[in-house]
């Protein structure tokens, strides 16, 4: 009887232990491709592609500026794209981790480098920042749903 109770407790402990979701190579490739499309649009000042890469329910949390929505971000990028300065994002895929987060959802965590200058040809300033993003597959297309941007 005692060994049966001990076995039951051991089994309960194993079942209660959280299991980390393993990265899935196909999911990782899909998310990194969606990331490249989205940030390629930023680098190319392509507002139409950028709009397609954001979920209309986007919530973007920035450690310095707080919460912005889809409409806020479109307005911000439309204004930024009209400026003479430059903005460039470089992926750092070696830092990227991608995990499933339920049906049609994925978590994407890592670092990226942003560089900007006040005018074309001017000295660029660059910084490496951290992010945690949630992507949602909508009608077969991965769209950015939530962002935590920090370390600025």
Domains of the chain, residue spans: 23-150
pLDDT at residue 44, rounded to an integer: 97
Under 8 Å between Cβ of 109 and 131: yes
Say whether domain 23-150 belongs to CATH 3.10.450.50: yes
Over residues 13-53, the pLDDT tens digits come to 433 333 345 667 799 999 999 999 999 999 999 999 999 99
Strand partners, 138: 141
pLDDT at 8 over 50: no
What pLDDT digit, counting tens, does each position of 68-89 carry?
999 999 999 999 999 999 999 9
Q: Considering the entire predicted model, what is its pTM?
A: 0.82
- Decide: helix, strand or coil at residue 45: coil
């Amino acid at each position: 009887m005692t060994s049966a109770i001990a076995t039951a407790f051991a089994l309960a402990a194993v079942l209660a232990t959280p299991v980390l979701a393993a990265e899935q190579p196909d999911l990782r490739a899909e998310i990194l491709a969606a990331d490249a499309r989205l940030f390629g649009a930023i680098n190319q000042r392509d507002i139409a592609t950028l709009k397609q890469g954001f979920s209309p329910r986007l919530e973007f949390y920035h450690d310095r500026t707080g919460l912005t929505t889809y409409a806020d971000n479109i307005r911000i990028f439309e204004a930024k794209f009209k400026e003479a300065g430059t903005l460039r994002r470089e992926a750092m895929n070696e830092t990227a981790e991608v995990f499933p987060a339920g049906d049609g959802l994925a978590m994407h965590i890592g670092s990226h480098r942003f560089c900007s200058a006040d005018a074309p040809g001017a000295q660029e300033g660059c910084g490496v920042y951290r992010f945690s993003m949630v992507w949602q597959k909508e009608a077969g297309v991965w769209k950015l749903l939530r962002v935590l941007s920090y370390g600025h």
